[in-house]
Amino acid sequence: MSKNKSEYLINRHDNQYEVVIGLEVHAQVTSQSKLFSTSATKFGAEPNTQVSLVDAAFPGMLPVINEFCVKQAIKTGIGLKAKINKRSVFDRKNYFYADLPQGYQISQFKDPIVGEGKVILDMPDGQKEIGIERLHLEQDAGKSIHDLDPKNTFVDLNRSGVALMEIVSKPDLRSPDEVNAYIKKLRSIMRYLGTCDGNMQEGSLRADVNVSVRKKGSKEFGTRCEIKNVNSIKFMQMAIEYEANRQVDLIEDGQTIDQETRLFDTKKNETRSMRSKEDAHDYRYFPDPDLLPLEVSDDFIENLKSEIPELPDEKKKRFIEKFKLSPYEANILVSDIETSNYFENVIKKSDVKLATNWIIGELFAALNEKNLEITESPISAGNLSKLINLIKDGTISGKIAKTVFEQMMEGDKDPQKIVEEKGLKQESDPKALEALIDKVIDDNREKANEYKSGKVKLFGFFVGQVMKVSGGKANPQLVNEILKKKL
């Protein structure tokens, strides 16, 4: 018996399996320059144009920590409600590869800058807390390009030395949907903080996914496999689904699972073994003697705390309490900082309830259709606010408003002007409406008589006729009142 409907279980024969997932998210720190050098970090630059002597590991070159990246990591830690470690240590992770110029990656191993924290997920059946194990700072490697030449590999070092935050979750995730919600929440928090742009297409956010399965009810974890470097939520979900089923099949077949590192093949939708535990690298971690332990003071941390904006969870609470939004509405509106900013700008001068409905309903649908982000919306918050006020004060009907809205989507036009230019203003003058209604009754004498003799259903027909004749502009409430009297 499952406690809730959304529980994700894999059924085989009489057995039910639970999936246990932990994520190591690599988030690129938003910063002008790299973690240990002054090179730029712009995405999409010509290969090897953002490389310093330090990034290319020339003899005698030394790393110098970028204070801004440290601040970004601490801010992120604060956003994850995590413990900030006042003393952290940079270690060298040693391995050879052509796109790793130093022959080691500077990372944090035993003493990360951020310790345990948490992320709250809003799932359909309630909230769920996902534990954060740690967050540490590390350098990105360069990029090997294998497909430009049949014989040679090219190396682009633009990314070499760029600051990453590795955010390690506890194995608290139980389904692809939770993974989806977790990544989105993490991204949302970092975008609120301005510490990572969360752009998965540009590789600013990618994850290693640890997956294991166990019989439902079991307390012990199964053997896990790590799926390396997955760069979209969809692929993460597909990889988890494939991998969990693969592991269940092995167990059902009486086989054991090897702890190994696997790759997700996005074309074939399957995971493949990359290297087994025996072949695992011995990274020979040791503290980087070129860098002193990183020490931050209480004041330093307090100052950063004062720079932290209102984060999604707090904002949601405020929206519910202050604006009486439903948790569902609040969730949608706080999901990213741009949407919540837009919403708050709209309601500065207009009705909250109407604004909520119009943003979540019409605006999102229209943006979705045009594949636009809220920041690219053709309708500014100010103009949407005006439109809502036109509805609220009865200048136009909700129906007409939709027409005006469509016009606005074609370009940021003032709704007031559209209404005036197109003569869409609602007809609320009782005398004018009476004349209209008299004409409609005259033209439909027979039906009017039927109505009078008891066919009350025909009332709707008359309303429709009046609206039609008025070109939709007649104030529906007044039409109702006058019609009742006249018939």
Taking the C-alpha atoms of residue 224 and residue 468, their distance in angstroms, rounded to an integer, is 66
Q: CB of 412: closest distance to other proteins in angstroms? A: 49
Q: CB of 170: closest distance to other proteins in angstroms? A: 24
Q: CB of 212: closest distance to other proteins in angstroms? A: 23
Residue with the two structure tokens 């119009």: 358
Q: Which two tokens stand for residue 382?
A: 């100010």
Q: CB of 290: closest distance to other proteins in angstroms? A: 5
Is residue 27 a contact partner of residue 162, using CB atoms and an 8 Å limit?
Answer: no
- Judged by beta carbon, residue 94 or residue 261, the one nearer other proteins is 94
Q: CB of 292: closest distance to other proteins in angstroms? A: 6
Q: CB of 137: closest distance to other proteins in angstroms? A: 15
DSSP per residue, 298-339: HHHHHHHHHT----HHHHHHHHHHHH---HHHHHHHHSSHHH
Residue 199 carries which side chain, given as an amino acid letter? N
- Judged by beta carbon, residue 142 or residue 222, the one nearer other proteins is 142
- Judged by beta carbon, residue 102 or residue 175, the one nearer other proteins is 102
- Judged by beta carbon, residue 99 or residue 414, the one nearer other proteins is 99
What's the angle, vertex CA 43, arms to CA 150 and CA 229, rounded to 5?
Answer: 65
- Judged by beta carbon, residue 110 or residue 452, the one nearer other proteins is 110
DSSP per residue, 80-129: TT-PBPSEE--EEEE---TT-TTSEEEE-SSS-SB--EEEEEEETTEEEE
- Report how far apart, in Å, the C-alpha atoms of 402 and of each of 16, 358, 363, 371 are: 49, 10, 10, 19
- Report how far apart, in Å, the C-alpha atoms of 200 and of each of 46, 69, 102, 397 are: 20, 20, 27, 42
Indicate the DSSP class of residue 377.
Answer: -
- Judged by beta carbon, residue 153 or residue 480, the one nearer other proteins is 153
CA 160 to mean position of chain CA atoms: 27
- Judged by beta carbon, residue 283 or residue 323, the one nearer other proteins is 283
Q: CB of 153: closest distance to other proteins in angstroms? A: 8
CA 158 to mean position of chain CA atoms: 27
Residues of this chain that bind other proteins (CB under 8 A): 53, 56-65, 92, 94, 96-98, 101-104, 153, 155, 282, 284-286, 288-292
Q: What values do phi and psi take at 412, rounded to 5? A: -75, 80
- Judged by beta carbon, residue 87 or residue 284, the one nearer other proteins is 284
Q: CB of 288: closest distance to other proteins in angstroms? A: 8
Q: Which two tokens stand for residue 450?
A: 């039927």
Number of H helices and number of E strands within the chain?
Answer: 16, 16
Taking the C-alpha atoms of residue 226 and residue 51, their distance in angstroms, rounded to an integer, is 31
3 state SS of 342 = helix
- Judged by beta carbon, residue 98 or residue 365, the one nearer other proteins is 98
Q: Which two tokens stand for residue 157?
A: 């070092």
- Judged by beta carbon, residue 58 or residue 221, the one nearer other proteins is 58
Q: CB of 99: closest distance to other proteins in angstroms? A: 9
Taking the C-alpha atoms of residue 61 and residue 54, their distance in angstroms, rounded to an integer, is 5
Q: Which two tokens stand for residue 343?
A: 């919403």
Q: CB of 61: closest distance to other proteins in angstroms? A: 8
Q: Which two tokens stand for residue 145?
A: 């390009």
Q: CB of 150: closest distance to other proteins in angstroms? A: 14
Alpha-carbon Rg for the chain, nearest whole angstrom, is 30
Is residue 475 a contact partner of residue 436, using CB atoms and an 8 Å limit?
Answer: no
- Judged by beta carbon, residue 249 or residue 290, the one nearer other proteins is 290
3 state SS of 294 = strand
Q: CB of 101: closest distance to other proteins in angstroms? A: 6
- Judged by beta carbon, residue 151 or residue 445, the one nearer other proteins is 151
- Report how far apart, in Å, the C-alpha atoms of 175 and of each of 12, 212, 479 are: 17, 11, 54
